[in-house]
Amino acid sequence: MFQMLPSMTFGRRLSVWWSCMWRQTLASAPVWILGVAIVGLSISRTHSAAGRPPSGGAAALAVATFFVCLVVCLPIAGYMVRGGFAAHALTAPERLAFRQALMVGLTTFGWAVLAALPISVATMPLRHAGYPLAGQAIGWVLNVAAGLYIVLPRQARRLRLLAGEAA
């Protein structure tokens, strides 16, 4: 379930992970920047009194914008993961339909969240006991390891299935 086919060294696995990661980050950054700009402009136009917290409507807009940006980024992540795998000559379909890209994006985000939640819970005592930098550093290392050994194999399996090969 968590093996890469073909089997690869740590360095190659890290290279594939990084290739997918930077593609997803660069491709989805404009969506998130636009979302922050929309929320920021909305709050600045409706928030006239200095020192008063934003209204409930502004908070609802922020939450709605977050979910819209997340949904928009799902297929983007799928296309970028396929591009990362193809750049490393790993099994990937030549093209992805929108629905297929959405499924690869859901695989990516779903497994990343499932891996990140226990890591966040495990490092929380460090972050709240006066060692925030150590907690963040350990959390970052564990999240990268989870990306390499949990998320990446699931992405590879999904792409193999979409390419018509056996999982």
Task: Kindly report whether the global pTM for this prediction surpasses the value 0.85.
Answer: yes
Amino acid in the structure at residue 138 = I
The pLDDT of residue 58: 81
User: How many independent structural domains does the chain possess?
Assistant: 1
The pLDDT of residue 99: 97
| 109 occurs within a structural domain | yes
| 2 occurs within a structural domain | no
- Break the chain down into helix, strand, coil percent, rounded to 5: 80, 0, 20
| 3 occurs within a structural domain | no
Rounded Cα gap, residues 39 and 55, in angstroms = 12
Rounded Cα gap, residues 164 and 125, in angstroms = 45
68 alpha-carbon distance from chain centroid: 15
| 36 occurs within a structural domain | yes
The pLDDT of residue 70: 97
Q: If DSSP codes are grouped into helix, strand and coil, which group holds residue 147?
A: helix
| 142 occurs within a structural domain | yes
Which domain, by its residues, includes 34? 10-163
- Give the N- to C-terminal CA distance of the chain in Å, as an integer: 9
The pLDDT of residue 103: 97
Task: Output the six-digit token pair for 134.
Answer: 């150590």
Q: If DSSP codes are grouped into helix, strand and coil, which group holds residue 115?
A: helix
Report residues of the chain scoring pLDDT below 50: none
| 133 occurs within a structural domain | yes
pLDDT in tens, 2-42: 777 778 999 999 999 999 999 999 999 999 999 999 999 98
Neighbour tally for 133: CB within 10 Å: 9
